[in-house]
């Protein structure tokens, strides 16, 4: 589905800044999300994406800049923003002792729904999320995939125009992840729901219409996964060696640069990389342990933009 680029944008972020004490976690972030898009915030833990998520969900005030949801400021018009959004957090927010229907009933009453309207809306969400046959099941008896569907049903109960999801695939096995993405695309295609999600998973980011890549609070790239990967200059060659600085300098001297050392390996991007590899191996055979060749991935985009590996083990 082509995103509906009507005005105002579903999300517009302008120069967003946030600090935790003396630590700056967002550094002037700018991007927009068109209505009807599936938009991803990709970054390692500690990159700033969860802070940005919480600001858009009106749970945190930025130090500087602005964030708008359908034209409403998340600080000055938080009530209007909350009417437009549904939120699915990474940690489950369901009462595990209640049934699926009871959880939705509680959520609906928080939004002022009741009586027949609440019953009809709940049934609609349960059917939409393929949970109608599990409506009377206690949450603690659901699989991880079904529990995630119930979380999404809660987030959609008041029919928001924008669904915010923090690490939606967290804890799901590959089959449940595929099922989740089939569901998200169905929501977008059938109901025009705009989806904004945070993720540190490259496979998940690849499924988005567009991405904003964050590193240490800085926006390093925005675009479609295909366009971002096309910025890489050809094939990606990675060389394992015990002397990375020496091999890097030697390759730059003989074959030209740029060549990077990333996490103890030598990395370079070249068109028709398969033709260059035999020449590199011949020149540095005694210092090379292994060579790999691959087409660019989003991980390569991150390294290309930041000069360092994707640090998934940083503090949140």
Contact by Cβ (8 Å): 71, 8: yes
Other residues' Cβ atoms within 10 Å of the Cβ of residue 76: 10
**Quick one: which of 238, 252, 262, 237 has its CA closest to 283?**
252
β-strand partners of 73: 68
Query: Running along the chain, 316 residues long, what does each successive block of 10 average in pLDDT?
Result: 61 96 93 96 90 95 96 96 91 90 92 87 88 94 89 88 90 82 87 93 94 94 95 90 95 92 92 93 94 93 86 44
CATH assignment, 233-295? 3.30.70.260
Distant-in-sequence, close-in-space partners of 117: CB < 8 Å, separation ≥ 6: none
Q: What gap in Å lies between CA 137 and CA 135, rounded to an integer?
A: 6
Range(s) of the chain covered by CATH 3.30.70.260: 233-295
Q: What gap in Å lies between CA 259 and CA 256, rounded to an integer?
A: 8
Range(s) of the chain covered by CATH 3.40.50.300: 11-224
Distant-in-sequence, close-in-space partners of 165: CB < 8 Å, separation ≥ 6: 87, 88, 152, 155, 195, 196, 197, 198
Q: Is 274 exposed, middle or buried (0-12, 13-18, 19+ CB in 10 A)?
A: exposed
What are the b/e assignments for 118-147, b being 16+ CB within 10 Å?
A: beebbeebbebbebeebbeeebeebeebbb
In order, the DSSP letters of 9-74 are: -SEEEEEEEEEETTEEEEEEEEEEE-BT-EEEEE--TTSSHHHHHHHHTTSS--SEEEEEETTEET
The pLDDT of residue 6 is 47
What 8-state DSSP symbol labels residue 235? Answer: E
Distant-in-sequence, close-in-space partners of 132: CB < 8 Å, separation ≥ 6: 123, 126
Residue that has been written with the tokens 């926006």 in this structure: 219
The pLDDT of residue 314 is 40
CATH 3.40.50.300 assigned to domain 11-224? The reply is yes
The pLDDT of residue 3 is 47
The pLDDT of residue 113 is 85
């Amino acid at each position: 589905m082509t995103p509906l680029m009507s005005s105002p944008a579903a999300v517009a972020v302008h120069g967003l800044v946030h600090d935790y004490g003396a630590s700056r976690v967002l550094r002037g972030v700018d991007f927009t999300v068109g209505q009807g898009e599936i938009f991803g915030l990709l970054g390692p833990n500690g990159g700033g994406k969860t802070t940005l998520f919480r600001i858009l969900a009106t749970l945190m005030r930025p130090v500087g800049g602005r964030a708008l949801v359908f034209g409403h400021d998340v600080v000055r018009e938080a009530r209007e923003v909350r009417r437009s959004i549904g939120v699915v957090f990474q940690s489950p927010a369901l009462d595990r002792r209640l049934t699926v229907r009871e959880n939705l009933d509680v959520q609906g009453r928080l939004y002022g729904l009741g009586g027949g309207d609440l019953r009809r809306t709940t049934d609609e969400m349960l059917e939409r999320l393929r949970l109608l046959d599990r409506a009377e099941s206690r949450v603690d008896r659901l699989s991880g995939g079904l529990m995630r569907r119930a979380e999404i049903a809660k987030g959609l109960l008041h029919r928001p125009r924008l669904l915010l999801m923090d690490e939606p695939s967290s804890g799901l096995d590959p089959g449940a992840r595929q099922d989740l993405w089939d569901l998200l695309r169905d929501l977008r295609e059938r109901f025009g729901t705009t989806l904004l999600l945070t993720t540190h998973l490259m496979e998940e980011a690849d499924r988005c219409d567009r991405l904003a890549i964050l590193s240490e609070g800085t926006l390093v790239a925005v675009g479609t996964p295909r366009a971002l990967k096309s910025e890489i200059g050809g094939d990606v060659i990675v060389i394992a060696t015990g002397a990375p600085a020496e091999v890097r300098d030697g390759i730059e001297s003989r074959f030209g640069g740029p060549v990077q050392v990333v996490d103890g390996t030598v990395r370079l991007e070249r068109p028709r990389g398969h033709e260059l590899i035999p020449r590199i191996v011949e020149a540095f055979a005694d210092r090379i342990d292994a060579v790999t060749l691959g087409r660019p991935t989003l991980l390569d985009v991150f390294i290309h933009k930041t000069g360092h590996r994707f640090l998934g083990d940083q503090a949140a």
